[in-house]
Amino acid sequence: MDSTIGAIEIGTLLSGVLFGLITCQTYVYFKTYPRDAGFTKGLVAALWVVELIHTACIFDALYMYTVRGYGDPASLIRFPLALDATIILHGATVIMVQLFFTYRISKFVQKTYYLFGTAAIILLVRFVAFVVSGVAATKMTALINFMQSWKSLILFDLISCAATDVMMTAILVYQLASRRSNVYKSTLAIMDKLIMWAVETCLVTTITTIAMMVCFLTMGEKNFIWIGILLVQPKIFSNALLANLNSRSSLREARSDVLEMTPGRPVPLTPISGVTMSKETETFNDKFQTGTHATEKFYAPGTPVEVGQVHSVSFDSVSAV
C-alpha cells in the first residue's frame, strides 16, 4: 500500500501545496504587472484554470482510491476517469510553459522564426502524444497492459520533455554568456544571476522528468511511484513560469537596463529609464574617459559624450530563465 496508494497520496498532497503557490504567484503577477501584454496575462489565467482542473481531478482520484474503493485492491488495476484526464491536462501545462519559454528565448537569436517554428512543431507533436495517451488510458482494462502497450509513447513524452528543457536552457545560457564580454561592469552580476536562474530551472524540471522515467522503467509494473511524480510535475513547470515573470521587478530594482559599451565613437546621450546620471556617470568616466584624471560630470539629454555607442537592452526580453 505504501508504494501504490501511498505514492498517489503523497503526490496529491504535494501537488495541492504547489497549486497554492501557483495561486499566490498568479495573484502577485496580476497585481504587480497590470500593464503586461494581453497574451501574457491570458496565458497566466489559462495556466491557473488548467491547474485548478488538474488539482480537482487528482483529488477526486485520491478520494476514489481511499474512500469509494476502500478495502478493494481491485480498484488499483486501472486508472479512474479523473486520473485519465490529468494526462491531457499535464500535457497542456507542460506544452504551454515550454512554448512560452521558447518564444522568449527566440528573441535572443537570429533566424527567430526557424527556431520558434521548429520548437512549436516538436511541442505540438508532444501534445498530440499526450492526448493519445489520455484517450487510450480511458479505454484501458488493466494498468499493466496499458503500460506495456503504450510504453514507447510514454518514453517519447518523457525523453522529449527533458531534451526540450536542456536545449532551451543551453541556448539561453550561450546567448547570455556571449554578451558578458561587452557589458558594463555593474551589470555582470545581473547577467550571472540570469544564467544561474536558467540552469537552476532546467535542473529542477529535468531532474523531475528523469526521476519519473527511471521509476517508470524500473518499477512501473510494481508500484505507482512514477505516477506520484507525474501528479507533481506540471505544478513545477507552472511555478517556474510564474516565478520567471514575477522576478522581473527585482531585476528592475537592481538595474532597469543593461548597457553594452562599444568604445570608439561619440554618440548623443539620451535618457534611459531607471538610470540616474550622477555617481553612475563618475564610474562611467573612470572606465572610459581618456586622460590622467576623471572628473564627475553631468550631461543633459542630447549632449555628445566620448564613450562609444550605447545599446539599451530591456530585461523584459532577457529574463527568459
**DSSP for 149-176, written as a single string:** HTHHHHHHHHHHHHHHHHHHHHHHHHHH
- Written as nine digits, the cell of 123 is 511541442
**Nearest Cα residue to 62 out of 6, 117, 110:** 6
In the chain the domains, ranked by start, together with CATH numbers, are: 5-246 (1.20.1070), 257-318 (no CATH)
Is residue 58 within 8 A of residue 84, CB to CB? The reply is no
For β-strands 267-268 and 257-262, DSSP reports them as unpaired
Angstrom distances, CA of residue 57 to CA of 152, 171, 192, 231, 291: 25, 36, 40, 10, 70
Is residue 191 within 8 A of residue 176, CB to CB? The reply is yes
Reported pTM: 0.73
- Tens digit of each residue's pLDDT, the chain (321 residues): 777 888 999 999 999 999 999 999 999 999 999 999 899 999 999 999 999 999 999 999 999 988 888 877 777 787 888 989 999 999 999 999 988 888 877 776 666 667 777 777 888 888 898 899 888 888 888 888 888 888 888 888 888 888 888 888 888 788 777 777 666 666 777 777 777 877 887 888 889 999 999 998 888 778 889 999 999 999 999 999 999 889 887 666 655 444 444 444 444 444 444 444 433 333 333 333 333 333 334 444 444 444 443 343 444 444 434
**Nearest Cα residue to 77 out of 161, 171, 1, 140:** 140
- What is the C-alpha to C-alpha distance for residues 120 and 97, in angstroms, rounded to an integer? 12
